[in-house]
Structure 1
Amino acid sequence: MKLNRAYILLGANLGKPIQQLQAAVADITKLIGEVVQISSLYESAAWGIVDQPSFINQVLSVDTELSACALLQTCQQIENKLGRVRDIKWGARVIDIDILYFNNDIVDKPDLTIPHPYIRERRFTLIPLVEIAPNYINPVLKQTNDELLQDCLDQSSVHQLYE
């Protein structure tokens, strides 16, 4: 069976975010595949709707036998298990799991867009992504993650919590 490499962004800003990210990593390992790399934890101001608590974010690279669509379904199952409620776009949440990249695939379906369409606009995504995959080339934008971060117009603060 062919292994697919996925890059996944985790985020949380309600409850106990660090514990929720740890629970998500454990569930991803159990249900999706081997976590090959894991970034540091980063704290950032909320994006989109800014009047809410800061987020804790982390990026993982995972080897999985799942297809992109099956990966999305499994990520949503993990979110639901951990108490995710989908009511306000970009609102506060106990867990958010976004697929950033899947191999070098380009997916454009009503419920799934890969690469993630907001990668280039979000420092809170790019900084942990560059930590683990600086030279990965975005298959749509034809730039490395490091180049995307250098060109990113988002000025919001993103702080590494600890090494």
Structure 2
Amino acid sequence: MIENIKKSIAYIGLGSNIGERESYLKNAVELLNHSNTKVKSCSNIYETDPVGYTDQDAFLNMVVEIETTYSPEALLHQLAEIEKSLLRQREIHWGPRTIDLDLLLFEDIQLNTDKLIIPHPRMNERLFVLIPLLDVIQDEKRESIQSRVARLLEVEGQEEGVRIWKRTEWLSELELLEN
């Protein structure tokens, strides 16, 4: 008997501001695309001003939509392993990093534990997350995210901090690699 494995949709935020920033993003996307997770969609890449600790270089940020058989906790562990493999070091809170992977959304789950909060707790305050999320999100959450982006742009005037850097074609490249 073949057992049906539940597949869930999740959204991952990626950021890098050390070294070959685009290469770190691309390597992370490739590492996300394996037997338990499949990358379904990649946002464009945005260059963004640092938030929190501002004495550092600009970031490249993007969001990917994945389909996964992992639980939220197992996916978080996998993201930490990918960060580790790409030499992520945690020396300064919100400081420079080769790669940062944040679990933004996981289906419609709301979770609040010591290790994991879903939806990501600061997601709605950050245009560098919300704007690329709009590139990939396809469901009813899209309208809500659009209104949050509009409100931040109107009220906060933050648009200068997020600039499109490059349009991605990585998904088609990943599909070619698999065939």
When the two structures are superposed, what TM-score results if normalisation uses the length of structure 1? 0.92
**1:59-74 equivalence runs, <5 A:** 59-74=63-78
In structure 1, give the amino acid aligned to 2:150: Q
**1:1-163 equivalence runs, <5 A:** 1-30=5-34, 32-133=36-137, 136-137=140-141, 144-152=144-152, 153=156, 155=158, 156-163=160-167
Q: Distance in 1 between matches of 2:44 and 2:145?
A: 16
| Cα displacement string for residues 91-145 of structure 1 (whole angstroms, at most 9, x for unaligned residues) | 110000000000000010101000001111111001100121265429xxxx711
Q: Distance in 1 between matches of 2:36 and 2:80?
A: 12
- Could you say which structure has the higher helix fraction? 2
1:46 and 1:54 in contact (8 A); partners too:
yes
Larger Rg: 2
Runs of 4+ in 1 over 4 A off after TM superposition: none
Query: Matched residue of 1:66: which SS?
Result: coil
Q: Structure 2 vs 1, CA of residues 72 and 31 (structure 1 numbering), >3 Å: closer, same or farther? A: farther
Decide which moves more: 152-161 or 109-118: 152-161
| Cα displacement string for residues 19-76 of structure 1 (whole angstroms, at most 9, x for unaligned residues) | 0000000100026411111000100000111110000001000000000000000000
> CA RMSD, aligned part only?
1.6
Residue segments in structure 1 that go unaligned for 5+ positions in a row: none
Q: Distance in 2 between matches of 1:10 and 1:52?
A: 17
Residue segments in structure 2 that go unaligned for 5+ positions in a row: 168-179
Aligned length: 159
